[in-house]
């Protein structure tokens, strides 16, 4: 039987209830939100055992990314094949209508705190929408140590120890593992390691509407992996790579992933030879042309470009705003 060649892959969103969520993703995504409950996250690309993204269209419709990783490893990952047990990133839209819990994620170095088969969690947010109460809390204020933080947790005054700023659309916030953080009243796109390991320090004395009870805290685990030496985190300054024919800015470059933002109204190249890339359309619409065909890329959509697809031409219909997400070639986690 002839093997089906991979093509740019669009997946069904996986919607996640969160007590801090809302309904604002309905105007961003092309697929309707389920029910009428609080949707905090839409997972657009997830290769996890409990939530594996399902291909939305084309000959491979109905297949999961986990299946494709097993059946077409070379086509999917190219030069990275054999270096990952699963696709190493988890990509999502977040609607943080209420305050996100004050939390921290461990780095890969804290193996004793990470469940088997999982990883640490470094992440980045690209701010898409800000409400009147928008706030980013990222990093501890200078001089805050473990004893001071424990006392603040006990007294419910943790927020007084957090560095914070008012975000605006277009801002980029890079949250390395070990950085205490929270957020409120904002819609963001999140790029992160493929991990769901979160340790909550404080949840604003909130009761989960779905249970009527407070959510569990993991204070000891959180305290064990906080980077107390790091200090406040603000909005990152993009590195401009080119201004013509389109504006291309490097937003994040770290060991776990790279994020580039491309804005323009004329055709531009995306994708890479022999390695996968991911495209996220934040505004506008375009046509993506690749060697065997073409497909649409519209606002709120995410496309995985398998390694076999290689470089593509993105032809905008007006002005588009696209993120291109890469896996660094110099790091091979297992």
Which domains, ranges and CATH numbers included, belong to the chain? 9-225 (2.60.120.10), 239-326 (2.60.120.10)
Dig out the tokens for 332 from the structure.
């091979």
**pTM (whole model) above 0.75:** yes
Dig out the tokens for 189 from the structure.
């796109």
Q: Is the dihedral of CA 83, 314, 248, 130 positive or negative?
A: negative
**Residue 3 confidence (pLDDT):** 65
Q: Is the dihedral of CA 288, 77, 25, 34 positive or negative?
A: positive
**Residue 329 confidence (pLDDT):** 56
Stretches in the chain below the pLDDT threshold 70: 1-3, 329-334
* CA distance linking residue 221 with residue 211, whole number of Å: 24
* CA distance linking residue 35 with residue 37, whole number of Å: 6
Q: What is the DSSP string of 181-216?
A: EEEEEEEEEEEEES----EEEE-TTPPPTTTSSPPP
**Residue 330 confidence (pLDDT):** 47
213 Rama sector, left if φ>0, alpha if ψ -120 to 50, beta otherwise = beta
* CA distance linking residue 260 with residue 174, whole number of Å: 13
CA angle 25, 180, 28 (to 5 degrees): 10
* CA distance linking residue 180 with residue 201, whole number of Å: 9
- Decide: 91 and 29 in contact? Cβ < 8 Å: no
**pLDDT digit string, tens, across residues 183-242:** 999 999 999 999 999 999 999 999 998 899 999 999 999 999 999 999 999 999 999 999
User: Three-class SS of residue 309?
Assistant: helix
**pLDDT digit string, tens, across residues 234-265:** 999 999 999 999 999 999 999 999 999 999 99
**Residue 23 confidence (pLDDT):** 96
């Amino acid at each position: 039987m002839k093997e089906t060649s991979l093509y740019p892959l669009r997946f069904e969103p996986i919607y996640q209830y969160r007590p801090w969520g809302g309904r604002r993703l309905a105007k961003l995504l092309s697929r309707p939100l389920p029910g009428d409950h609080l949707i905090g996250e839409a997972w657009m690309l997830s290769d996890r055992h409990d939530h594996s993204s399902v291909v939305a269209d084309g000959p491979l419709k109905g297949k999961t990314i986990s299946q494709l990783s097993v059946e077409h490893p070379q086509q999917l990952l190219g030069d990275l094949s054999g270096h990952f047990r699963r696709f190493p990133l988890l990509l999502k839209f977040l609607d943080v209508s209420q305050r996100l819990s004050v939390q921290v994620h461990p780095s890969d170095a804290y193996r004793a705190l990470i469940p088997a088969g999982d990883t640490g969690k470094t992440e980045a947010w690209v701010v898409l929408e800000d409400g009147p109460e928008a706030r980013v809390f990222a990093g501890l204020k200078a001089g805050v140590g473990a004893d001071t933080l424990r006392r603040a947790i006990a007294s419910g005054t943790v927020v007084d120890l957090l560095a914070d700023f008012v975000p605006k659309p277009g801002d980029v916030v890079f949250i390395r593992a070990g950085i205490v953080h929270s957020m409120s009243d904002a819609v963001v796109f999140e790029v992160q390691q493929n991990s769901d390991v979160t340790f909550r320090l404080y949840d604003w004395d909130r009761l989960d509407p779905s249970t009527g009870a407070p959510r569990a805290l993991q204070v000891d685990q959180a305290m064990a992996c906080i980077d107390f030496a790091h200090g406040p985190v603000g909005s990152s300054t993009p590195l401009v790579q080119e201004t013509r024919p389109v504006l291309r800015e490097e937003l994040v470059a770290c060991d776990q992933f790279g994020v580039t933002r491309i804005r323009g109204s004329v055709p531009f190249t995306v994708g890479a030879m022999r390695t996968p890339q991911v495209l996220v359309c934040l505004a506008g619409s375009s046509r993506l042309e690749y060697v065997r065909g073409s497909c649409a890329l519209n606002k709120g959509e995410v496309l995985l470009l398998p390694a076999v697809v290689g470089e593509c031409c993105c032809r905008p219909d007006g002005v588009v705003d696209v993120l291109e997400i890469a896996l660094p070639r110099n790091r091979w986690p297992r």
